[in-house]
Amino acid sequence: MVLGVSFDTVEENAAFAKKFDFPYQLLCDTTRAMGLVYGAADDAASQHAKRIGYLIDPEQQIAAVWTKANPTSHAAEALAKIG
């Protein structure tokens, strides 16, 4: 399962997903709670999330971390880790 998370509202995420025809679900973290836990935000006032990625294995353990995920290559890199 692939999930994306942003600090945007439900409406903003829906418009973004529609515009770019996203094939996966976008979750909303408007309080920055998940962003703080996973290191995508330095504090609850952060305007934008850092582009990071986590690969979580079937045992719910973190298998890989990308601290500076590149939007153009991240999907291929993640697929290579599981492939």
Measured on CA atoms in the order 3, 37, 80, 82, is the torsion positive or negative?
Answer: negative
Do 62 and 56 contact (CB within 8 A), yes or no? yes
pLDDT on residue 14: 95
Architecture of the domain whose range is 3-82:
3-Layer(aba) Sandwich (3.40)
Tell me the pLDDT band of 7, cut-offs 50, 70 and 90.
very high
Token representation of residue 81: 């880790």
Please tell me which residue, 22 or 59, carries the higher pLDDT value. 59
Domain-wise residue ranges, the chain:
3-82
pLDDT on residue 63: 94
Locate tokens 């999907």: which residue?
75
Report pLDDT digits (tens) over 43-72. 999 999 999 999 999 999 999 999 999 989
**Distance spanning both ends of the chain, measured CA to CA:** 14
Give pTM, 2 decimals. Answer: 0.79
Query: What mean pLDDT comes out for the span 23-47?
Result: 94
